[in-house]
Amino acid sequence: MKLKFYNITELSEQQYEKYYQKVSPSCRERADRFRQKADAYRHVMGEVLLFSCMEEVLGKVPVDKIERNEYGKPYVKGSDDFFFNISHSGDYVVVVCHNEPVGVDIQEMRTISPAMVKKIFTKEEVTYLASLSEKERERHKIMLWSMKESYIKYLGLGLSREMDTFFVDAKRGKAVDMKDCPPKEAEIFVTLWKENYYLSICTKNPWDQDEIRRQMGI
Ligand code: COA
Ligand code: MG
């Protein structure tokens, strides 16, 4: 597994223009549609990081093979050993590539309204949150949110997947999918990062977490 990240506050307008010329036409098109400059920066830098991963792992950048599934997840068409996923939040863009399907989510700290809590969390997750101190609980809501997102992004199903059909077992670092009988599980690595973010990576099988910590500089 390879992880790359970028802080968009380090990007000057001039550098952005250079990167913009290097990404795919569809990436440029999407970037042009954003009203906020920061959104365009995050989107373009996601593809820049992806290209860099491809260069290192595949020795080439197969731009014409990058497609999106019906829910928007980008993937390399025809590849059965190169998978990737992109996430951005706040100042950061993260790309993870792996030899099996992967989902990544980075989430900046924020408060989650009671209505959102109701919408997002299952009874198992609510029980877990209730076992924590109030201070811990607020952080762990974001942690669970990020973990859940990474699972949805691993599946590639986006908003079509109902939040109450699976739960995250934070203590074991697993997603437990109740749509399957017996429930199917996936691995989720999660860490507090850069003080103000949670970063989660979801895969089917375990992998070397020490190596990823090293790549993240933690
Ligand atoms: N599956 C996996 N990855 C996807 C995807 C999908 N269906 N659709 C898009 N992506 C990739 C793209 O690369 C996208 O970046 P890009 O357009 O710049 O290339 C990137 O994921 C966006 O991820 P992230 O930055 O983490 O955004 P997000 O967390 O706002 O949204 C979605 C992620 C779009 C995949 C989707 O899950 C979503 O909208 N989720 C919000 C649902 C919700 O209510 N969650 C509550 C908490 S669980
Ligand atoms: Mg996200």
pLDDT on residue 162: 87
Question: pLDDT tens digits, residue range 121-172?
Answer: 999 999 999 999 999 999 999 999 999 999 999 999 998 888 889 999 999 9
Q: Which residues surround ligand 2, an ion (CB under 5 A)?
A: 105, 149
Question: pLDDT tens digits, residue range 35-73?
Answer: 999 999 999 999 999 999 999 999 999 999 999 999 999
pLDDT on residue 66: 97
**Residue whose CA lies nearest to ligand 1 atom number 32:** 158
**Domains in the chain: ranges and CATH:** 2-99 (3.90.470.20), 104-216 (3.90.470.20)
Interatomic CA distance for residues 104 and 198, integer angstroms: 11
pTM: 0.96
Residue % of the chain over a pLDDT of 90: 94
Q: Give me the mean pLDDT over the 1-21 stretch.
A: 98
pLDDT on residue 180: 86
What would the DSSP string read from start to end of the chain? -EEEEEEGGG--HHHHHHHHHHS-HHHHHHHHH-SSHHHHHHHHHHHHHHHHHHHHHHSS--GGGEEE-TTS-EEETT-SS-EEEEEEETTEEEEEEESS-EEEEEEE-----HHHHHHH--HHHHHHHHTS-HHHHHHHHHHHHHHHHHHHHHHT-GGGS-GGGEEEETTTTEEEETTSSSPEEEEEEEEEETTTEEEEEEESS---HHHHHHHHT-
pLDDT on residue 48: 98
Cα of 169 to ligand 2 centre, how many Å?
19
Which residues form ligand 1's pocket by a CB distance below 6 Å? 43, 46, 71-74, 85-88, 103, 105, 120, 145, 148-149, 152-153, 156, 158-159, 163
Kindly list the strands in the beta sheet with 166-169, ordered across the sheet, starting from the edge strand earlier in the chain.
Answer: 102-108, 197-203, 184-193, 174-177, 166-169
